[in-house]
A and B are shown apart, each in its own frame.
Chain A
Amino acid sequence: MKIGLYICHCGTNITASVDAEKVAAAIAAEFPQSYCANVEFICSDEGKTFFKNHLLEQQPDRVVVAACSPREYENTFMQILAEVGINPYFLQFVNIREQVAWVTPDPIQATGKATIAIRAAMARVQLQQPLHKQEVEANPSVLVIGAGPAGIQCAQYLAEAGRKVVLVEKTAALGGKPVLFEELFPTMECGPCLLEPVQAEILHGNHAHNIEILLLSQVEEVNGYFGNFTAKIKRSPRYIDNSCIGCGMCVEACPASIANDFNCGMNDRKAIDMPFLGALPNIPFIDPRACMHIQGDSCQLCLESCPVPEAILFDDKEEIIERKVGAIVIATGATLYDCRQAPELGYGQVPGVYTSLEFERLAAANGPTAGEIKNSDGKAPECVSIVHCVGSLDRKHQPHCSGICCEYALKFNRIVEHKLPGTKVVHFYKELVVPGKESFTMLEHARSNPHAQFIRCKDIANVKVTASDGIPQIAYQDIDGNAGSLKSDMVVLCPAMVGGEDSGSIGKLMDLDRNSAGFFEELNGKLHSAQSKVKGIYIAGSCQAPMNIRETASQSMAAAGYILSALVEGKKLVVEPITASVNEEQCSGCRVCGSVCPYNAISYLPESHTSSVNALLCHGCGTCVAACPSGAMRGNHFTDDQILAEIEAILQ
């Protein structure tokens, strides 16, 4: 077999310690049918032209390039092979710069090491097989899961670019959590004011025809691979259709009620009701658990009061909707760490102790108290204590800092100062974090509140809330060891953010990893934080990490950007051939390969009792190849015989 060996000198980078002539001579002695060419800079234009012409002239069976790291230039030279009609997988690239010349100053040692490396490549390359890239059709549509700030922004960007989007949201309204907040840090603009224009665009804008909105819906099943996913979505009945004019007559007429999830259960909603005042779409929904008619009673007061009675559909049914898409964006958000895990803070035990989310609703004009900050006894608090870092920065709970809690805690200070002037506000915190170019204003403002007090504690475990005459009593020890106590008739806990309630089930559906706090793992935390480790599945917003609305918006745009560049309408997707494949004659059907595959790329064919690799799902890691007890699994381009040939050549 004629192997063309090209040794790059990289100026003197390689030849300063590697004697290329000696290496060439040693290799030529062992591989007499092959040839060796020395090139000064093979990556230069001149070098590449030489390489190309020389290949055309010599017509080698295989090619070895000994130069720098294959991580840098292997692709360039594979392309040149393809240009001259040689299968690009007939190339083996040897790293004699980074891993030999630059780290081995002794010329004898460097020359010896380079010779061994090239010899191994010469042995291996003979066994390399021609491989071909596969092209598959791809569906340019996108499934977006979650209609909070990340989901609606992403859906809107994609729709503007002409993509068809299926937007799935489990609640009955768009906008996620921030749309329930009266004011947003650091500028104190109102949450709905910020998000309503995007919601309106999604519902009625110029590109709304590109977005299919499925509310009260959840993804139940996902199959397929990047470019060709099939999702099954379960849509629960709303019992109201789009002919509803949103007048609210039915709400007034309805005699039944149930705890209102949108207000954290702090008040009740009618069985037929708007999700919350101002919710978009402006259509009520029926909670079947509370509706007397659906529960078998003859009540149909809503129907009788409705000016467009055909809008109410008592026989609306759950349905499974199947959609084909090319990519999926997960934007399912975060949730709060359960404050009951820190029982010393009294949540759920002591009246007057609230989570930050509950406080947001107490402060919101469309919340349970119409924006009046008051306890369940109806009295406005005289002292509001805000406990930061609940369950955060603590290995017993969550080790991370969520970053945004301090910012909204300072916002609460300002809301209390504004709504209840003169009310005492006490901040208990472990660390105070206000990063970024604007948030310091929140801190400045809070510090200038004459009724505000800041108490730093070594640990939040040093803050204890008990009930005294039905009023929360806080005993604490500050960071200097001074003990203190105070009566605080309202306590607001700011817990760590953790992965959303559904991230576990969604992760399972799509085989996505999550960290210990339940956030989705990204492909790379810095460069590719909006990509999951599964091709074609993107993660946007706080399902990936604690983040504020600005970061969420950026990430949703990043996810849209990835999709627009990777999944181009009318363009086929190229599938790399470095995958595993099964030799069916050798396969015993033991299915060990499937159990180790990180991508669910291997399925079992019961009719032939063998395993089968889906090349589109396979990432080519080769762990199944190493696991196969009968040698039936082949790792293309990294086959057993290729690697064994390398081992043997190294130790020759």
Chain B
Amino acid sequence: MSTQIAQTQPLDLHLLESKPFEPRIVGFLCNWCSYAGADKAGASQTPYPPNVSVIRVMCSGRVDPQFVLQAFHKGADGVMILACHPGDCHYKEGNYRALQRHRMVIRLLEQFGIDQQRCRFDYVSAGEGDRFVQVMTDMVNTIKVLGPAKPLLEPVA
């Protein structure tokens, strides 16, 4: 077992940006279905693009529209909200709330000049590893076609 305290070294955090355009996408995954679906994709070791960084929430219903706006404000090129399939929500109806909020937030984003396709809501169950890979790949490809997003600006006081 190797144990050591790491040395301070120059940081190379822009590895993803060394390529022409690598989108930065924030993915909100519910703990019970879509996060488990991502684990399933991992267990089957099916590769997919690395551009989506996952934030685990207990339920897609926890995803506050301000998280989506904040992600675009901080420079995200896309945001994903993945939920349990209709009728499968671990918390009965959190996925429906998430869907309602998504419908609202994409209209708001449109007003800010952010293409609705940059904020995707989808369903992935715990068993759907293949579907997770497909949804991830689709999203990254969509954002690659759209190009970098214009960051949302802070409201002017």
B38 to A99, Cβ gap below 8 A? yes
With the chains together, A47 CA to B1 CA distance in Å? 8
Given contacts A29-B8, A95-B39, A598-B94, contact A120 B53 (CB under 8 A): yes
B70 to A647, Cβ gap below 8 A? yes
Q: Return chain B residues, CB-CB under 8 Å to A27.
A: 6
Partner of A651, one of B3, B11, B26, B65: B26
A394 within 8 Å of B (CB atoms) = no
* Chain A 530-550 residues near chain B, CB threshold 8 A: 533
A644 within 8 Å of B (CB atoms) = yes
Partner of A109, one of B8, B15, B38, B53: B15
Given contacts A26-B12, A112-B16, contact A37 B5 (CB under 8 A): yes
A112 to B35, Cβ gap below 8 A? no
Q: Return chain B residues, CB-CB under 8 Å to A625.
A: 62, 64
Contact indicator per residue, chain B 8-23, by CB within 8 Å of chain A (1) or not (0) = 1111110110000000
A643 within 8 Å of B (CB atoms) = yes
Contact indicator per residue, chain A 585-617, by CB within 8 Å of chain B (1) or not (0) = 000000000001011000000000000000000
Partner of A28, one of B8, B15, B47, B48: B8
B74 within 8 Å of A (CB atoms) = yes
Interface residues on A, range: 35 or more
Given contacts A39-B1, A621-B91, contact A69 B42 (CB under 8 A): yes
A21 to B6, Cβ gap below 8 A? yes
With the chains together, A106 CA to B50 CA distance in Å? 9
B10 to A650, Cβ gap below 8 A? no
A108 within 8 Å of B (CB atoms) = yes
A623 to B74, Cβ gap below 8 A? no
Given contacts A22-B12, A627-B97, A635-B62, contact A120 B55 (CB under 8 A): yes
* Chain B 27-64 residues near chain A, CB threshold 8 A: 31, 35-36, 38-39, 41-43, 45-48, 50, 53-59, 61-64
A104 within 8 Å of B (CB atoms) = yes
B9 to A25, Cβ gap below 8 A? yes
Given contacts A21-B6, A95-B39, A103-B46, contact A647 B74 (CB under 8 A): yes
The residue on A at minimum CB distance from B38 is: A99
B13 to A112, Cβ gap below 8 A? yes
Q: Return chain B residues, CB-CB under 8 Å to A69.
A: 39, 42
A513 within 8 Å of B (CB atoms) = yes
Contact indicator per residue, chain B 111-139, by CB within 8 Å of chain A (1) or not (0) = 00000000000000000000001000000
A392 within 8 Å of B (CB atoms) = no
B101 within 8 Å of A (CB atoms) = yes
Most buried by B among A24, A69, A100, A625: A69
Partner of B43, one of A98, A104, A533, A646: A98
The residue on A at minimum CB distance from B29 is: A99
Q: Return chain B residues, CB-CB under 8 Å to A119.
A: 13
A640 within 8 Å of B (CB atoms) = yes
B3 to A621, Cβ gap below 8 A? no
Partner of A638, one of B12, B58, B70, B92: B58
Shortest Cβ distance from residue A326 to the other chain B in the assembled complex, whole angstroms: 22
A638 to B74, Cβ gap below 8 A? no
With the chains together, A626 CA to B3 CA distance in Å? 41
B63 to A647, Cβ gap below 8 A? no
Q: Return chain B residues, CB-CB under 8 Å to A50.
A: 1, 3
With the chains together, A50 CA to B15 CA distance in Å? 32
With the chains together, A111 CA to B36 CA distance in Å? 22
Given contacts A113-B50, A622-B61, A635-B62, contact A25 B7 (CB under 8 A): yes
Number of residues in B with C-beta < 8 Å to the partner?
58
Partner of B3, one of A37, A620, A640, A648: A37
Given contacts A39-B3, A69-B39, contact A28 B9 (CB under 8 A): yes
A650 to B39, Cβ gap below 8 A? no
The residue on A at minimum CB distance from B31 is: A71
A62 within 8 Å of B (CB atoms) = no
Q: Return chain B residues, CB-CB under 8 Å to A623.
A: 59, 61-62, 91, 94, 97
A430 within 8 Å of B (CB atoms) = no
Given contacts A25-B7, A27-B6, A643-B57, contact A622 B16 (CB under 8 A): no
B55 to A97, Cβ gap below 8 A? no
Partner of B11, one of A29, A40, A104, A113: A29
With the chains together, A109 CA to B12 CA distance in Å? 12
A513 to B5, Cβ gap below 8 A? no
Shortest Cβ distance from residue B60 to the other chain A in the assembled complex, whole angstroms: 9
B3 to A647, Cβ gap below 8 A? no
A55 within 8 Å of B (CB atoms) = no
* Chain A 26-41 residues near chain B, CB threshold 8 A: 26-30, 32, 35-41
Given contacts A29-B10, A98-B43, A598-B93, contact A622 B26 (CB under 8 A): no
B6 to A24, Cβ gap below 8 A? yes
B143 within 8 Å of A (CB atoms) = no
With the chains together, A533 CA to B84 CA distance in Å? 15
With the chains together, A120 CA to B71 CA distance in Å? 13
A427 within 8 Å of B (CB atoms) = no
A70 within 8 Å of B (CB atoms) = yes
B76 to A621, Cβ gap below 8 A? no
A46 within 8 Å of B (CB atoms) = yes
With the chains together, A626 CA to B57 CA distance in Å? 12
B3 to A97, Cβ gap below 8 A? no
Q: Return chain B residues, CB-CB under 8 Å to A644.
A: 67, 70
B148 within 8 Å of A (CB atoms) = no
Partner of B76, one of A116, A635, A643, A651: A651
A115 within 8 Å of B (CB atoms) = yes
The residue on B at minimum CB distance from A625 is: B62
With the chains together, A202 CA to B67 CA distance in Å? 57
With the chains together, A36 CA to B9 CA distance in Å? 13
Q: Return chain A residues, CB-CB under 8 Å to B58.
A: 578, 620-622, 638
With the chains together, A459 CA to B105 CA distance in Å? 46
Q: Return chain A residues, CB-CB under 8 Å to B101.
A: 626
The residue on B at minimum CB distance from A624 is: B61
Q: Return chain B residues, CB-CB under 8 Å to A619.
A: 91
A116 to B53, Cβ gap below 8 A? yes
With the chains together, A640 CA to B13 CA distance in Å? 25
With the chains together, A620 CA to B58 CA distance in Å? 7
A103 to B39, Cβ gap below 8 A? no
B62 to A105, Cβ gap below 8 A? no
Q: Return chain A residues, CB-CB under 8 Å to B35.
A: 71
Q: A95-B54, A109-B50, A646-B55 are in contact. List 14 more A-B contacts (CB 8 A).
A: A24-B6, A28-B5, A29-B8, A29-B11, A99-B39, A102-B43, A103-B48, A106-B50, A521-B87, A598-B92, A598-B93, A620-B58, A621-B58, A626-B62
8 A-B pairs whose Cβ atoms sit less than 8 Å apart in the complex: A71-B35, A97-B42, A102-B43, A103-B45, A103-B133, A109-B16, A623-B91, A625-B62
B positions within 8 Å CB-CB of A: 1-13, 15-16, 24, 26, 31, 35-36, 38-39, 41-43, 45-48, 50, 53-59, 61-67, 70-71, 74-76, 87, 90-94, 97, 101, 133
